[in-house]
């Protein structure tokens, strides 16, 4: 289901969007796609930030484990 809404944009931005879309362009579809892409990108960034936080919290443990594993390697 779609809901009609109103937004205010600068005239130059709207002209640029219209140039991009051409004559048969659909502004509504363009904005919906742009917002979906933006939200997906933000969700991905938030996920990456959470993963990095977890890695940073566990860095000492992970580094000790890696050092232990490396100590078993045979030197050539």
Q: pLDDT by residue (tens digit) across 8-42?
A: 999 999 999 999 999 888 999 999 999 999 999 99
Phi/psi of residue 4, nearest 5 degrees: -75, 140
Supply the pTM of this predicted model.
0.68
Q: Please say whether the beta carbons of 21 and 30 come within 8 A.
A: yes
pLDDT, one tens digit per residue, over 36-72 is 999 999 999 999 999 999 999 999 999 999 999 998 8
Per residue, the 3-state secondary structure of the chain, as one string, reads CCCCCCCCCCHHHHHHHHHHHCCCCCHHHHHHHHHHHHHHHHHHHHHHHHHHHHHHHCHHHHHHHHHHHHCCCCCC
């Amino acid at each position: 289901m779609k809901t009609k809404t109103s937004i205010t944009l600068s005239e130059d931005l709207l002209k640029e969007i219209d140039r991009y879309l051409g004559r048969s362009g659909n502004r509504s579809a363009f904005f919906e796609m742009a917002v979906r892409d933006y939200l997906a990108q933000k969700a991905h960034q938030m996920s990456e930030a959470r993963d990095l936080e977890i890695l940073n919290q566990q860095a000492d443990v992970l580094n000790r484990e890696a050092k232990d594993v490396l100590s078993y390697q045979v030197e050539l």
